[in-house]
């Protein structure tokens, strides 16, 4: 079997995965805002997660087929794995909302979902920048913004938990909502993990 070209379409894989992640975060924001058709939205988010899984598997398979990669092989594996963590957590939060029948809108969850979406969009743009490391500063600026958004998500989680304990008298409901809030915050954390990998790639190759 002949060797694939040096770029091996890895950048295509990264960009496809990031774009689908943004799509999943957009759908989750609709869910957090109290969209009527929860099962349909959750099914669409699951479809996005499955599509991302396919991209991840193809990326890893490409690593086994290619002799020369555009960036370090370990960085490729780490990057696609960390990206996959984001959409896995988004899908997990959506699935919890469906199972727990959390259908009512939540202002706190909507704020966190909006921050997550903003982070995913920054991640998507940072990933696109990897094709041309001549624009390293622009990529790193995206990563700094992702770090800022992660800090914002931490604050939003703390506020959400305070409001939850103040407003709900049902301990089971508190447990359910707490799980969803924390899962969304973990997804934003995972965007920061992606940014950290990207920062390392930029510093090593620019």
Whether residue 1 lies inside any domain: the answer is no
Whether residue 3 lies inside any domain: the answer is no
What digits encode the pLDDT tens for the residues 33-47?
A: 998 789 999 999 999
Exposed e or buried b per residue across 31-49, where buried means at least 16 C-beta atoms within 10 angstroms of its C-beta: bbeeeeebeebbebbbebb
Extract the tokens encoding 191. 């965007």
Whether residue 5 lies inside any domain: the answer is no
Whether residue 103 lies inside any domain: the answer is yes
Class of residue 8 by CB neighbours under 10 A (exposed 0-12, middle 13-18, buried 19+)? buried
Task: Supply the range of the domain harboring residue 189.
Answer: 10-205
Class of residue 6 by CB neighbours under 10 A (exposed 0-12, middle 13-18, buried 19+)? exposed
Instruction: Find the CATH number of the domain harbouring 38.
Output: 1.20.58.220
What digits encode the pLDDT tens for the residues 101-145?
A: 998 889 999 999 999 999 999 999 999 999 888 889 999 999 999
Closest CA to 46 of 18, 27, 19: 27
Give the pLDDT of residue 8. Answer: 52
Whether residue 4 lies inside any domain: the answer is no
What digits encode the pLDDT tens for the residues 157-203?
A: 999 999 999 999 899 999 999 999 999 999 999 999 999 999 999 99
Rounded Cα distance between 199 and 16, Å, is: 20
């Amino acid at each position: 079997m002949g060797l694939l070209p040096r770029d091996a379409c890895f950048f295509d894989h990264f960009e496809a995965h990031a774009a689908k992640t943004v799509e999943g975060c957009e759908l989750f924001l609709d869910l957090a805002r109290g969209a009527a058709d929860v099962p349909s939205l959750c099914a669409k988010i699951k479809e996005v997660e499955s599509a991302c899984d396919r991209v991840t598997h193809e990326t890893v398979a490409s690593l086994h087929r290619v002799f020369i990669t555009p960036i370090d092989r370990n960085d490729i594996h780490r990057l696609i794995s960390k990206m996959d963590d984001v959409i896995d957590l988004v899908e997990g939060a959506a699935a919890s909302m469906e199972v727990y029948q959390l259908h009512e809108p939540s202002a706190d969850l909507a704020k966190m979902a909006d921050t997550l979406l903003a982070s995913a969009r920054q991640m998507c743009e940072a990933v696109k920048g990897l094709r041309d490391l001549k624009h390293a500063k622009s990529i790193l600026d995206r990563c700094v913004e992702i770090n800022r958004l992660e800090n914002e998500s931490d604050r939003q989680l703390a506020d959400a938990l305070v409001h939850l304990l103040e407003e709900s008298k049902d301990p089971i409901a508190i447990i359910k909502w707490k799980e969803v809030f924390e899962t969304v915050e973990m997804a934003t954390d995972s965007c920061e993990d992606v940014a950290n990998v990207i920062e390392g790639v930029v510093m090593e190759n620019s």
